[in-house]
């Protein structure tokens, strides 16, 4: 066996990945994948956008492009970010190959082995994997219904101040919990971070996916609320608001950090897909996004409602779950004595799947929770899938 790098040895072998192979069976009702419904992807819109391209735009689409991104797309994204209240003075923008690459780049330029990253507990699995691949140490801070808890954050910082480099969080309809940060909590966290030298990495791919068009929750980002002295890197993605197959995201932050990220990106993939960028630019500039989002918000809201109503009538006593106002996820907490891996094995035999909670635990241990994604499951099968999970749970209790 070759002697692998420490970074490769640090990559977690994944029981979850093995379990997920079972969920790929088309006869399984799966709440596992954190992805848009395939039936909701904007295939017709893409046909129209492609048909509207000039020959010159098609040539650009099939050519290499600048590492920082396709200039017209950078422009339309900068105006989108300004509309969210982000002040672009001294800030730069980098197009990335998905939000995942943005997380990877910022980690690569900030983290030396042994440096600490504060994360939410539970935390997005892809971010945990990126941090661990650079040999970061993790410190998970618990969440309540308003976001990362301020008291435990303060205590973690007091205990570990010297080794902390970065705080990572996911403010709108968090993956995996579905929790939406309150504006009050955002301000509290910013107050705590004000004097620190840490970088706040705000990963916000779900902010446009609120359910109630008449009452959108306040998704003003940390980046728009923070004082300029605190470095905030704001990450977004086209994955959940257009299609993950584009592999397109963005990173917006202090120019000196973004310049380094651009250098790091050059050696990774030279540039993100020009083809995707040309299409994404048309999507924004031709004004297709608002109408499309209106349609999918209603569909995700309906899927969430069916899931929540079925949980209400089928789940045994002593089980709790979150009530998301947007996004893709419901987070279920079981009694401590129940292992979600046992529930998974029982449920998959009956035909339903989800992701077990330890995947999202910064320590990789706690396993009495599970993530249910309602986004990818057709409305007519959600109730049946939840009934299977509930009856499998009853058999374990
Ligand atoms: C919180 C969060 N960040 C980033 C990503 C990665 O997005 P992308 O597909 O753009 O790489 C995801 C995808 O699930 C996510 O949930």
DSSP string, 301-350: HHHHHHHHHHHHHHSPTT-EE---SBSSEEEEE--TT--HHHHHHHHHHH
Distance 258 CA to ligand 1 centre (A): 19
Which residue's alpha carbon is nearest to atom 16 within ligand 1?
A: 175
Strand-pairing partners, residue 251, are: 94, 235
Check residue 135 and give its pLDDT.
94
Overall average pLDDT of the 348-355 stretch: 95
Q: Is the pLDDT of residue 387 over 80?
A: yes
Return the half-sphere exposure (C-beta side, CA atoms, 13 A cut-off) of residue 294: 7
Q: Which single residue is written with the structure tokens 């339309």?
A: 76
Which pTM value belongs to this model?
Answer: 0.96
Q: Which single residue is written with the structure tokens 């929540």?
A: 308
Overall average pLDDT of the 245-258 stretch: 97
Q: Is the CB of 237 under 6 A from ligand 1?
A: yes
Q: Is the CB of 172 under 6 A from ligand 1?
A: no
Overall average pLDDT of the 353-379 stretch: 94
277's CB contacts (< 8 A; 6+ apart) are 61, 65, 69, 70, 73, 95, 248
Q: Does residue 22 contact residue 28 with C-beta atoms inside 8 Å?
A: yes
* Cα distance between residue 249 and residue 243, in whole Å: 11
- Ligand 1 pocket, mutate which of 237, 242, 251 (most atoms under 8 A from CB): 237
* Cα distance between residue 95 and residue 236, in whole Å: 10
Residue 29 is given by DSSP the state E
Residue 252 dihedral angles phi and psi, to the nearest 5°:
-125, 125
Q: Is the pLDDT of residue 113 over 70?
A: yes
Distance of CA 366 to the CA centre of its chain: 20
Q: Is the CB of 203 under 6 A from ligand 1?
A: yes
Handedness of CA 55, 61, 67, 70 (dihedral sign): positive
Q: Is the pLDDT of residue 13 over 70?
A: no
Residue 235 is given by DSSP the state E
* Cα distance between residue 29 and residue 351, in whole Å: 6
Distance of CA 58 to the CA centre of its chain: 31
Grouping H, G, I as helix, E, B as strand and the rest as coil, residue 136 is: coil
> CA dihedral in degrees (72, 77, 78, 81; nearest 10)?
170
Provide the 10 A C-beta neighbour count for residue 162: 6
Handedness of CA 285, 206, 377, 245 (dihedral sign): positive
Q: Is the pLDDT of residue 8 over 90?
A: no
Check residue 41 and give its pLDDT.
97
Q: Is the CB of 208 under 6 A from ligand 1?
A: no
For 20-24, 167-171, 300-304, which range has the lowest pLDDT when averaged over its residues?
20-24
- Report residue 305 as tokens: 């409602």
Provide the 10 A C-beta neighbour count for residue 82: 12
pLDDT in tens, 148-165: 999 999 999 999 878 999
Q: Is the pLDDT of residue 23 over 80?
A: no
Where does the pLDDT of residue 17 fall: very low under 50, low under 70, confident under 90, or very high at 90 and above?
low
Return the half-sphere exposure (C-beta side, CA atoms, 13 A cut-off) of residue 1: 4
Overall average pLDDT of the 368-385 stretch: 97
* Cα distance between residue 74 and residue 94, in whole Å: 8
Give the rounded percent of residues in the chain with a pLDDT score beyond 70.
97
Q: Is the CB of 170 under 6 A from ligand 1?
A: yes
Which residue's alpha carbon is nearest to atom 14 within ligand 1?
A: 34
* Cα distance between residue 189 and residue 176, in whole Å: 20
pLDDT in tens, 294-341: 999 999 999 999 999 999 999 999 999 999 999 999 999 999 999 999
Distance 184 CA to ligand 1 centre (A): 25
Check residue 366 and give its pLDDT.
87
Residue 336, class by beta-carbon neighbours within 10 Å (0-12 exposed, 13-18 middle, 19+ buried)?
A: exposed
Residue 117, class by beta-carbon neighbours within 10 Å (0-12 exposed, 13-18 middle, 19+ buried)?
A: buried
Distance of CA 250 to the CA centre of its chain: 13
Overall average pLDDT of the 207-235 stretch: 91
Q: What is the mean pLDDT of the chain?
A: 94
Ligand 1 atom nearest to 102, measured from its CA: 11
pLDDT in tens, 82-103: 999 999 999 999 999 999 999 9
Q: Does residue 160 contact residue 116 with C-beta atoms inside 8 Å?
A: yes
For the CA atoms of the chain, what is the radius of gyration?
21
For 11-20, 95-104, 266-275, which range has the lowest pLDDT when averaged over its residues?
11-20
């Amino acid at each position: 066996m070759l002697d692998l790098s420490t970074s490769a040895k640090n990559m977690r072998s994944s029981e979850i990945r093995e379990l997920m192979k079972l969920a790929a069976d088309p006869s399984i009702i799966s709440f596992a994948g954190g992805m848009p419904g395939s039936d909701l992807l904007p295939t017709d819109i893409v046909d129209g956008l492609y048909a509207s391209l000039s020959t010159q735009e098609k040539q650009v689409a099939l050519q290499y492009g600048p590492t920082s991104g396709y200039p017209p797309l950078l422009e339309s994204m900068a105006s989108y970010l300004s509309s969210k209240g982000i002040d672009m003075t001294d800030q730069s923008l980098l197009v990335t190959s998905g939000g995942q690459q943005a997380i990877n780049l910022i980690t690569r330029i900030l983290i030396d082995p042994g440096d600490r990253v504060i994360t939410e507990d539970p935390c997005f699995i892809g971010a945990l994997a990126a941090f661990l691949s650079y040999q970061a140490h993790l410190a998970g801070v618990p969440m309540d219904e308003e976001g990362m808890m301020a008291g435990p954050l303060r205590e973690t910082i007091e205990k570990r101040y010297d080794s902390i480099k970065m705080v990572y969080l996911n403010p709108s309809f968090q993956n995996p919990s579905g929790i939406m940060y309150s504006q009050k909590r955002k301000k509290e966290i910013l107050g705590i971070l004000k004097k620190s030298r840490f970088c706040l990495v705000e990963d916000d791919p779900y902010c446009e996916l609120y359910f109630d068009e008449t009452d959108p929750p306040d998704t003003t980002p940390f980046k728009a609320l923070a004082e300029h002295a605190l470095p905030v890197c704001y990450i977004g993605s086209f994955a959940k608001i257009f299609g993950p197959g584009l592999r397109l995201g963005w990173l917006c932050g202090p120019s000196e950090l973004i310049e380094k990220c651009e250098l790091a990106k050059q050696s990774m993939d030279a540039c993100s897909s020009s083809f995707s960028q040309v299409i994404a630019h048309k999507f924004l500039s031709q004004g297709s996004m608002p109408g499309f989002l209106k349609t999918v918000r209603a569909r995700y809201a309906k899927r969430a409602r069916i899931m929540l109503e079925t949980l209400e009538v089928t789940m045994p006593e002593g089980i709790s779950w979150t009530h998301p106002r947007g996004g893709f996820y419901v987070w279920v907490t079981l009694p401590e004595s129940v292992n979600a891996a046992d529930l998974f094995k029982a449920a998959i035999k009956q035909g339903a799947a989800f992701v077990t909670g330890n995947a999202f635990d910064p320590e990789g241990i706690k396993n009495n929770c599970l993530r249910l994604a309602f986004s990818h499951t057709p409305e007519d099968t959600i109730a049946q899938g939840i009934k299977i999970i509930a009856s499998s749970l009853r058999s374990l209790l």
